[in-house]
Amino acid sequence: MIDIRIVRDIEECRELWQRNIPPEVISDLWEVRFCFHRHFQHPPFFIVAEEDGRPCGLMPLSRIEDRHLLGYFPGETWAGKTWLEQNRLPARDETVLGAMLSRCHWPYQLRYLLPLESIPTSRQAVDEVGYLFLPPKYHFDIENYFQEFSHKSAKRIRKEIAALEAQATFRYDDPADFEHLVNLNVSRFGDNSYYFDARFREGFRDLMNLLRDRGWLRITTVLMNGEPAAVDLGCIYRGAYTVLAGGTHGGYPGVAKLINHRHMEFACQEKLSQVDFLCGDFSWKSLFHLAPRPLYLMSNLPSREVRPEEVDIRSTAHA
């Protein structure tokens, strides 16, 4: 018999998370999630399925009270979207998953999910598509990567990047550039920027400090005419490079192509397994022939409410 219980104590939630969520990607780490929980303080609502006293399923949720909604922990929501990706819902089978869902006492919207092992992907709703650059596919040689392009396209992209690179200087791993990232993002998106919300901004600052302390942080800053034109904050964890956040200056068209190309070069040089540019269907991602990776949605909201009309303000929205 499957027993379902609700856990609200944050320490017990931590223990359940660390026991059931494998630390495969950066967003799997409890410490990363807690950076945002510390500032948002959405009440945890972990649904645990057990059989004969042994866990067989976990839904780590938060009560997002201002929206009267359950979201994936820690519910770092802004403008109807959470941020952290590759969220997991471990469940032994569909029966266990259904039993846990039956205990959701509020509407739920669980975004950016990895494919659920308990349900065929053909029955799962695609939420958004993430984009990856895969250096091993090109034998860690950026020149091999450009062989995928037509000669005309490759020549055009290289020419544009070379022209920008001739004017640019790069700076790396300066935590003070976080303020430039925030200012660039807010200048670009105004009150639609995640960083307009102090809770998210300070959560991300805590995340930056955590990554720096662990030796995983990589900040890339492009300077044009002595001023920051683009700043990206990323991390290297288990041989994978994730570009977590960024901002660009609208006065320097094309600078995003330059900084993204630099990420790809770096990943080849360091022989990393991938660069994760996160979700968001921006034109440069298809232009750069990145590999798509769908993430999934589970929600019982009416369809008109599942994806609210909004500006897409995720920080990898480089123009």
Structure confidence at residue 317 (pLDDT): 42
User: Per-residue pLDDT averaged across 134-155, rounded?
Assistant: 94
The pLDDT confidence band at residue 303, using thresholds 50, 70 and 90, is low
As a whole-number percent, the residues of the chain with pLDDT over 70 amount to: 94
Structure confidence at residue 3 (pLDDT): 96
User: Per-residue pLDDT averaged across 229-257, rounded?
Assistant: 95
Structure confidence at residue 81 (pLDDT): 84
User: Per-residue pLDDT averaged across 9-14, rounded?
Assistant: 98
Same domain membership, residue 154 and residue 58: no
The pLDDT confidence band at residue 306, using thresholds 50, 70 and 90, is low
Same domain membership, residue 270 and residue 149: yes
Domain of 79, CATH number, reads: 3.40.630
Same domain membership, residue 147 and residue 46: no
Which is more confidently placed, 47 or 318? 47
The yes-or-no verdict on residue 313 having pLDDT over 60 is no
Same domain membership, residue 189 and residue 49: no
Number of domains in the chain: 2
In a domain, 255, yes or no: yes
The pLDDT confidence band at residue 131, using thresholds 50, 70 and 90, is very high
Structure confidence at residue 305 (pLDDT): 57
Same domain membership, residue 72 and residue 49: yes
Same domain membership, residue 114 and residue 153: no
Same domain membership, residue 169 and residue 59: no
14: tokens are 């931590």
Per-chain mean pLDDT for the chain: 92
In a domain, 303, yes or no: no
The pLDDT confidence band at residue 235, using thresholds 50, 70 and 90, is very high
Alpha-carbon distances of 144 from 63, 152, 236, 258, rounded to whole Å: 47, 16, 23, 18
**What range does the domain containing 22 cover?**
2-123
Same domain membership, residue 139 and residue 119: no
The yes-or-no verdict on residue 57 having pLDDT over 60 is yes
Structure confidence at residue 28 (pLDDT): 98
In a domain, 316, yes or no: no
In a domain, 268, yes or no: yes
- 305, 312 contact by CB (below 8 A): no
Structure confidence at residue 285 (pLDDT): 79
Same domain membership, residue 44 and residue 10: yes
Structure confidence at residue 192 (pLDDT): 87
Same domain membership, residue 107 and residue 30: yes
Same domain membership, residue 279 and residue 139: yes
Structure confidence at residue 309 (pLDDT): 39
Domain of 149, CATH number, reads: 3.40.630.30
Structure confidence at residue 163 (pLDDT): 95
In a domain, 301, yes or no: no
Over the stretch 147-182, which tens digit does the pLDDT of each residue have? 999 999 999 999 999 999 999 999 999 999 999 999
